[in-house]
């Protein structure tokens, strides 16, 4: 059950997610290792398994993953005001930075030193992603079925870089990741119903 919410908790949530917002380059998955560090290791607001569940839910609901995660973690820790302050903290750094950039963005991008730093950061982002995989793989219990799902998803995502798999239904576009997430939900439910094939210990 939830602990009593103090003002200090709200401030902590706000500051931690402001840090996450300020350090998230390349968006989405790149920030997982940063959120993991702040919410799981440092503040112990959520467990690593909960972190994974939040990611799965974020993937299958609209909106940016980091906003979803901030709202969810904030709620877990301190209810409505927790999610309010976490989300506000997350949005603030990009808001301020982009606002400043929007006033002189042509000049900003023409500085070659800025471009050079950004080209370097792209390499760092790849390492952050591999780091996230390394951390999160402990949470998946590898059975033949989950291993198959993992390999299939990885291959499809890599292939989708070369070929476009996105489906559209009328004006609504389903991305490959949404389809795969939904597939995972369905397979998980079927496996539970069959009981024998239950994916968890």
Partner 1 sequence: MIFFELFYVFFLIGLFTFGGGYGMIPLIQEQVVARGWIDALSITDFIAISESTPGPFAINIATFVGSQTGGIFGALCATAGVVLPSFIIILIIAVLISRFMKNRFVRGALSGVRPIVLGLIFGTAIVFLIKLIISSSNPQSFTLTSSYRESIAIFLMVFGFYLAYRHFKKKSPHPIAILAISALLGMTIFWVL
Q: Is 165 in the site for partner 1 (CB under 8 A)?
A: no
- CA dist 121 and 152 (Å) reads 29
**Residue pointed to by tokens 């576009």:** 173
User: Which residues 32-91 are close enough to bind partner 1 by CB under 8 A?
Assistant: 32-34, 37, 52-53, 55-68, 71-72, 75-76, 80, 83, 87, 90-91
The two structure tokens encoding residue 118: 């950004």
Note whether 132 binds partner 1 by CB under 8 A: yes
Other CB atoms within 10 A of residue 12 CB: 21
Q: Identify residues 1-20 at the interface with partner 1 (CB under 8 A).
A: none
Q: CA-CA distance, 74 to 79, in Å (whole number)?
A: 7
Q: Which of residues 134-163 bind partner 1 (CB under 8 A)?
A: 134-137, 139-142, 146-147, 149-158, 161
From 9, 12, 21, 89, residue interacting with partner 1 (rule: CB under 8 A): 21
Query: Residue 13 Cβ, how far from partner 1 at the closest point, in Å?
Result: 14
Using CB under 8 A as the binding rule, the residues of this chain from 89 to 108 that contact partner 1 are: 90-91, 93-95, 97-99, 101-103, 105, 108
User: Does residue 27 bind partner 1 (CB under 8 A)?
Assistant: yes
Provide φ and ψ at 5, rounded to 5°. -85, 125
Of 44 and 141, CB closest to partner 1:
141
Return d(Cα 18, Cα 4) in angstroms, integer. Answer: 23
- In whole angstroms, what is the distance from residue 132 CA to residue 140 CA? 13
- The answer to whether 106 and 82 have CB atoms below 8 angstroms apart is no
Nearer to partner 1, 39 or 65 (CB): 65
Provide, rounded to whole angstroms, the least separation between the CB of residue 76 and partner 1.
7
The residue behind tokens 């999610």 is 83
């Amino acid at each position: 059950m939830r602990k009593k919410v103090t003002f200090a908790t709200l401030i902590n949530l706000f500051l931690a997610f402001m840090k996450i917002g300020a350090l998230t380059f390349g968006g989405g998955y790149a920030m997982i290792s940063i959120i993991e560090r702040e919410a799981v290791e440092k503040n112990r607001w959520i467990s690593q398994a909960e972190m994974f569940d939040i990611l799965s839910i974020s993937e299958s609901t609209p909106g940016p993953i980091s906003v979803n995660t901030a709202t969810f973690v904030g709620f877990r820790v301190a209810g409505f005001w927790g999610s309010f302050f976490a989300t506000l903290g997350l949005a603030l750094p990009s808001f301020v930075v982009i606002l400043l950039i929007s006033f002189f963005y042509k000049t900003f991008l023409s500085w070659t030193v800025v471009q050079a730093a950004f080209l370097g950061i792209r390499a760092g982002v790849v390492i952050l992603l591999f780091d996230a995989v390394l951390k999160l793989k402990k949470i998946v219990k590898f059975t033949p079925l989950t291993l198959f799902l993992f390999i299939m998803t990885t291959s499809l995502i890599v292939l989708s870089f070369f070929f476009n798999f996105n489906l559209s239904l009328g004006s609504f576009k389903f991305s490959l990741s949404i389809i795969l997430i939904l597939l995972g939900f369905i397979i998980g439910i079927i496996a539970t119903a069959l009981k024998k094939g239950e994916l968890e210990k």
